Amino acid sequence: MTKSQKTDYLRRMLQMNPLEQSTEIVALRCQFLKVENHSENLIDDSSSLFDRKEQTIKNLELLRKQFWVLKDEVLNQQIADIDIKNFPDLALALNRLQTVANHKDSFRRLKEHPECFESFYEQFCKLVVTSPGKLNETREPCLNTPPSEAWDFDYRDSSDYRKIVHIIEEDFPELYRLEQAWLRKLLVAKK
């Protein structure tokens, strides 16, 4: 390879914008290194990776929607079947679902507790399986609006909220840790 070919290659590379011309940059690099059909494989791999990530996100959303009705064995198997090896940004979401699945028995006991009321339980269950990106928008309605407007149920006195939060803190610490910040805010908001 001559010096002028190297100079030409370098000049062309420096003129390209990696944000807009990444495919062309890879193709030029492969051409320079004399790698055959590499850029086509790279494009196929990246698009299939994108498609796999989209499918994984859809699988997580479907799992969230079915989370509380699936049998424990089925739920745990579906969580185990979700492959996030190439998507570390989805690890937090999957780990949270796995943690909540590990505590489903505690949620069942909480539901049966005489001080637990349906509207709180439903909101809490919805919150713990919400995707990390939507947590704040899911938390806010119950903190900022009166319960009768936010959830369309019979109004509960703020002492009912304080009671159930204290019960969760005392009797269900594993559940309290899942949404500790929200439960603390709920105590303050319902005073």
Residue-number span of the structural domain to which 23 is assigned = 1-36
Share of the chain above pLDDT 70, in %: 84
Residue-wise pLDDT tens digits, 144-191 = 544 444 544 456 778 888 999 999 999 999 999 999 989 998 888 755
How far apart CA 57 and CA 63 sit, in angstroms, is 10
| Distance between CA atoms of residues 29 and 36, nearest Å | 11
Residue 45 belongs to some domain of the structure: no
pLDDT in tens, 106-150: 999 999 999 999 989 999 999 999 998 887 777 776 655 444 445
pLDDT band at 19 (very low <50, low <70, confident <90, very high): confident
Q: Is residue 139 part of a domain?
A: yes
pLDDT at residue 48 in the model:
79
Predicted confidence band of residue 43 (pLDDT cuts 50, 70, 90):
very low
Cut 0.75: pTM above it: no
Structural domain count of the chain: 2
> Could you tell me if residue 58 is inside a domain?
no
